[in-house]
Structure 1
Amino acid sequence: MTNVLNAQEAFTALQKGKTVLCRYAGDGTLHADKDFSTLDQMPATVFALPNYEFCIQVETIELAGIQFTKPLSIDEVEQEQDVFLIQPHAVILQYKYSENIDELVTGIRSGFAQRDFDNAKLQYEALCSVVGGSIFEASLEIAEQPKKRRTSKKQNDVIEVKQQSNIAANDDNSLDDIIGPVSAQSPASNDVEKKTSLELSPEICDGSQPLISFDAVAAAAVSRAQKIDNETSQKNSDRKLVEEDEEKYQEKLATLKKRVDESLTPTEVNAVVKYTNSWSAEQRQPLLKYMHKRLEVLQQNKTAEQPSLMVRIQNAPDLTTLDALEIDISSLDPIIQPEMMRYVKTRRLELEKSATVAAISDEDLP
């Protein structure tokens, strides 16, 4: 069941904390929208524009796989509102709400009352399903209302004057009994509604001030909605700039990583850092880790290309070189030092023998 509101009724409902939905109603040239949308999907000036319709969204719940509107609460029901009370014998009783009907008040407080017949049927079927009972076709019956006490014509006139006075003072069209379509409401829309109702001029809700015209209320709503639109646009713009900056950063990072891969010496690897002067420490961290890995690879390659200490000892060209290598042995693990010293001793004997042979040869020359 969908009851359509005009802009003034919708704005009043918004002030009362209701969740308001909106759709374009068409203007004869453009077709009307079929579905209602949240307020954040609509123009900021929607309350002041023609050809728009509003409704109130009612929260839904699901039980035993059946979805229906949340049962009517005693806080939101109003006098003479249609109330559909669920009976266990597959009968839905339709009342005009009155606080003097005890069984109706009890049923509402117990959560067995709905705003319309269709959702009352769905709730009845869900209750039967959850306890494993049989589901029968629910029927609608008009409940017998308690007879009203007769009043004199003079009393009726006084009551009518009071009612008209209350309507003029509050400008409240009993919007609590207006039911919107069953659909989800986004948190962003709720924020818009709450801010709009809370941040309007306090004179609107101050009972000591004269009632402000709807045009003034609509203008305030439009102003606030435009401000929210501007803030949203600014956030979207900032987000777009951040995304563009991130894209440029990733492109440059990929380029520098490629240059690191192509570097053949530690000096070339370290030179890449100069291209990151404008980066933050957080942005530079991935590149530094990548450079560190490349330096480890280069060090391993250098170690693999360099002959082992044993080979250098065996190939030492002279005693001076051998003495220098003997010093290097002292930095090795103590377990391997004796073996390396054995190679040093062998090579020293070879070099000394070679030097002796050379000296003898020099003496034999004429």
Structure 2
Amino acid sequence: MNILNGTEAFNAMSAGQKIEARHTGSDLDFDEIRNFPATVFIDQDYEFRIAVVYMTIGLMQVPEAIKEAPVKGTLCFAPSLLTTELSKSFKWKNSESDLELLVRGLVHLYEDNAMTHARALISISHGSLIKNEESNSDDEMPWSDQNDQNSTSNDVEDSLTDFDQPKAEPASENLSVDELKRLQEEAEKSVAEKKLAETAEIEYQKLLSELLNGVAKANTPAEVNAHTRYTKPWTEQQRKPLLDAIHKRLQELAPAVAEIKMPPSLMVQIQNAKDLTELDCLEIEVSTRDPDIQPKLMGCVKQRRFELENQADGVGQ
């Protein structure tokens, strides 16, 4: 773990890094910087670190690998599935193999993080960390000399990892590279599928909430039933909450619909118009109706106007 002083922490935060702090020498875990006063960076009683960002592999939370190449000579760690230590240390030399590890998300700055990464990869493959009791040796690895395990070269240009170009001796070292890549790809695929499933569930819940709200506010059976057109891609189980809500709302609307007294049709209103003023108002309403029925309604208007005018003439005589 790389401990920062106040100045280093402030500069890192200014560069966009997420910073955590705690009292110097405390056994407590680090906490988010926002939970400390603004003067914390100049207080000698606090120490800082760049916050650890986690990713999910299977059921495990794993510290994310670095995404940018470190400075040459930086001590790095990679998860190692074929060593007891579960990690392999090496000095960054910006070689092709180093960059390949970086692109595949397998480079850590802390050994514990690389070991956690390895445990997650073994777990997602349904593997075990328990040693085989039939093994001839508790410590010896079948693909390398025991003295070579977890070694770190002092020369940047000579640093080696489990994933550098294979040596001439153990052919099984090629297998470790292929196996690790396969497991990493499986882990990435699992994470991607999980994220897609979570996104789909969020979208489903959001749309379901909107539809349930719409059904509750619908005033007619037609408005209620219209909400089903949005559920064609859904499974029967996904559709059930909405169908239950629709059934309930239709039952609520049934007595109300029965009690509604339909107003007389426009044609009946025209035929029963009491005077020319009322007829004029109804004639205006005719213009808002379907063009196909307007001629028939205007015929009724003319007929009723003729009757009302003749009634007026008869009274005057």
Question: Is TM more than 0.5 here?
Answer: no
Q: Which has the higher contact order (CA 8 A, sep 6+)?
A: 1
Computing the radius of gyration from Cα coordinates, the structure with the larger value is: 1
TM-score (norm 2): 0.39
